[in-house]
Structure 1
C-alpha cells in the first residue's frame, strides 16, 4: 500500500485538491492521510477542518500554526510554527509521497520538509505566475525548485517551469484538478443553497453576485473602500451580494470589519465560509463574481460566469474571456459592471471554454500519484545552466 500525505492549511487549497483526495481515499491501494494546519483550525476563519472531517478523510494530525497577527511577520511566524510542528509527524508516518498545492508559505514548508527528509513530493499548480508582484509568486517558484515533480494545469505553466531549470521528465500537464467539482457536485436549487447559507430574506428574488476579496499589501489601506464601492454599485443595480471571507494574510482585519459592516445591509449576506456543495452551486446560480479571488480566473469559466477582478491581485495570469480587470475606484467598478451586463460581453460567454481544463483531471492525477515511481526522481541532479539548451 502506498502511503500518501496531503498537506492543507486553508479552505482554498483544500477545495482545489478535494477531488484528488477523494480519488486517492477511495483507492484500496492507497493510504491517504491529511496533515491539517493554519486557518483550518481557527474559529476566526470558520474552523474549516470540520469540513475535512465531514468529508471522511483520515487526518495524520493537526498543527495549530496560525499567528493571526495581521502583520507581515505573522506569516513568517506561522510558517515557522508549521515547520516545527510538522517535522516529527511527517517523519513518524514516513510517507512514500507528499502532495500539496499552490503558493502560500505552507507549501514552501512542505517542500522543505520533503527535501530534507528525503521524501518525494509533488507540487500542484506550479508554473503559474501573476504580474502583481505579490510574494506568492516567488514562493510558488521556490516551492517548485524544492519539489520532486509537478502536476501543472496548462502548457504555459510547463514552459515556465522549464525556464526555471526543471526537467521535462518531472512535469505533467494534467489540467486543473480544481474543476472536477463542477462535474461531480450534484445540482442544488437556488433556494436550497441560499437557505443553507442563511442568506437574507428575498435574496432568491434577485440576481446573485459573489464577492470575494483578499488582502494585498500594496492595497491594504484602500481595500475597505474597494469593497464598499463594489457592494454599493452592485446593490444599486439590483444584485443580492453574497460575501465570502478573505484569507488570513496581513490586512484581513480591516477588510473583514468592512465586509461584516456591509453584511448588515438587507441586500448583502456575509456568509464567511461554506461547504463545497454550496459554493459550487452558488457559482452555478450567480450572475456575477467580483473581487480578486483566483476562483474567478481559474474556475468561473467552467460555469460561464462573468467575473470582474478588482485591483492588482491576479493581473497577468491566464484566464478566460469572461474575466474583466478594473481598478478599485468607484468609476472603474461601475464601468466594469455595465460592461459585463452588456449584450456584447454576454455573447462572449455563450461559447466560453475554460482554458484550464474540462473537469476530468482529478482521477488522472490520482492514478499517476499511485503508479509513478517518484523515488526514482528524487535526486535533482540537473544543472539549470543546461536545462533550456
Structure 2
C-alpha cells in the first residue's frame, strides 16, 4: 500500500532545502507526497513565495494560513504558533499521513510537530543536533528532536548530540546538509544572466550577498545592530550589495524597513524579499563574500569556497568551516572582517578549506532510510530513552 508522506514548509529558506527530498518522494512509486504550505509563503511582504513552489513544478496539497498580521512581538509569535497547532490538527484529522517531514528550528515547525504528536503521526526531523546559542531556535530545535522519531543530521557531531538527547542510535542518521543537493544538481546562472534577471549592474563589479536576522535571545536593540551593519556596508562604496530580507521573527520587520530605506539612498544596493532557490544559489556562487547571520552562511556558502562574515551570536555553536569569519555587530569589527574576507591571503586559504557538511547526496540517503522504516512497518511510537554514561 502506498504510504503518504507529508512535507511541511513555512519559509522560503526551508523550501529551498526541502525541495530535493520532496522531488524524490514525488517521483517514488511507493510514496504519495502531501505538500502542506504555510507561514510566510502566503505573505506579500515576504515575496509570496508559494509561487516559487508552484514554479518548481509542485502542487500545494494543503494551504494552512497561520500569520494574520506582521510579526512584531512575542505575542504575535505565540498567536501564530497557536493557529498552526489548530490548523494542522484539523488537517491531520482529514488526511491519512504515515510520516511527517519537518526541517530545522522554526517556531512554526514546532507547532506543526505538536499537532502531529497529538495525532500520533511519526515525525522525521532534518538538521537536528545543531546549536545556535543566540536564537530561540536553539531550544525549539531540541524540542522538535524529542517530538521526532527519525533524525537526519548534517554531520556526525550533530548525530552524536541527538543521541545525547536520548534518541536511539539506530534512528539517527548522518546524511549531510541537504542544501548542498541543490548546488550539486542545479545548473546555476552565469553572473551575466544573474545581473540581467535581477536588473543590477554586477557584470563587472564585485558584490556581496547580505542577510541579517534578529538575535532573538539577545537583549541588544535590533535597530542599533542593523545600523551598525549598514554603516559597515557604506564603508565599501565600490561594492554592490544584494540584500535578502529577514524572516518573520520578532524584530524582523524593523530590519526589513531599515534596509528598504537604506536602499533608496544607495544605488549600489538591491533588496529582495526572496530570490528563490536558483537565483539565491547563483548569487552565492559569484559573490565576493556573504555577510550576515543566516544559517546559509555556515551551511551552504562554504561549499562554494567563498568567505562568510558571520555577525554576532545567532549562529554561535555551529560547526564552521575555515571560510567563516566571526565578528561582533559593531561597525569597526564588521569592516575589519570584510577586509580580511576579501584579501588575497584569505581567499587563497578559503579555496582549499575543508567542507564539513557532506557531499550533496543527502536526499537520496534520506529516501533510502524512509523506505527501510516505512516499507516494513518498523515505526513504533513508543520510544525508549537512550541513556549514555555521564562523567562528572
TM-score, structure 1 as length reference: 0.94
Does structure 2 retain, via aligned residues, the 8 Å contact 1:104–1:140?
Answer: yes
Residue 370 of structure 1: CA displacement?
3.1
* Structure-to-structure mapping, 1:139-154, within 5 angstroms: 139-154=140-155
Does structure 1 retain, via aligned residues, the 8 Å contact 2:325–2:337?
Answer: yes
Deviations 1:354-385 (A, max 9, x none): 2011112112212322332385333234245x
For 2:94, which of 70, 92, 95 is the aligned residue? 92
Q: Distance in 1 between matches of 2:152 and 2:30?
A: 21
Gaps of 5+ in 1: none
**Equivalent position of 2:110 in the other structure:** 108
**Equivalent position of 2:72 in the other structure:** 70
**Equivalent position of 1:176 in the other structure:** 177
Deviations 1:70-105 (A, max 9, x none): 111111111111111111212222111110100011
**Equivalent position of 1:131 in the other structure:** 133
**Equivalent position of 2:241 in the other structure:** 241
Residue 131 of structure 1: CA displacement?
2.8
**Equivalent position of 2:232 in the other structure:** 230
| Counterpart secondary structure, 1:5 | strand
**Equivalent position of 1:316 in the other structure:** 317
CA pair 383-349 structure 1, distance change in 2 beyond 3 A: closer
Deviations 1:105-130 (A, max 9, x none): 12212221222211111000011112
Q: Distance in 2 between matches of 1:46 and 1:212?
A: 15
Does structure 1 retain, via aligned residues, the 8 Å contact 2:3–2:98?
Answer: yes
Q: Distance in 2 between matches of 1:171 and 1:123?
A: 10
Q: Distance in 1 between matches of 2:7 and 2:330?
A: 40
Q: Distance in 1 between matches of 2:195 and 2:273?
A: 13
Does structure 2 retain, via aligned residues, the 8 Å contact 1:203–1:267?
Answer: no
Does structure 2 retain, via aligned residues, the 8 Å contact 1:291–1:308?
Answer: yes
Deviations 1:207-244 (A, max 9, x none): 11000001223242323213312321232xx2111110
TM-score, structure 2 as length reference: 0.94
Q: Distance in 2 between matches of 1:380 and 1:348?
A: 49
**Equivalent position of 2:259 in the other structure:** 259
Q: Distance in 1 between matches of 2:354 and 2:290?
A: 17
CA pair 388-106 structure 1, distance change in 2 beyond 3 A: farther
| Counterpart secondary structure, 1:68 | coil
Does structure 2 retain, via aligned residues, the 8 Å contact 1:198–1:271?
Answer: no
After TM superposition, which residue ranges in structure 1, 4 or more long, deviate above 6 angstroms? none
Count of aligned pairs between the two proteins: 383
Does structure 1 retain, via aligned residues, the 8 Å contact 2:6–2:97?
Answer: yes
Does structure 2 retain, via aligned residues, the 8 Å contact 1:60–1:89?
Answer: no
| Counterpart secondary structure, 2:241 | strand
**Equivalent position of 1:289 in the other structure:** 290
**Equivalent position of 2:44 in the other structure:** 43
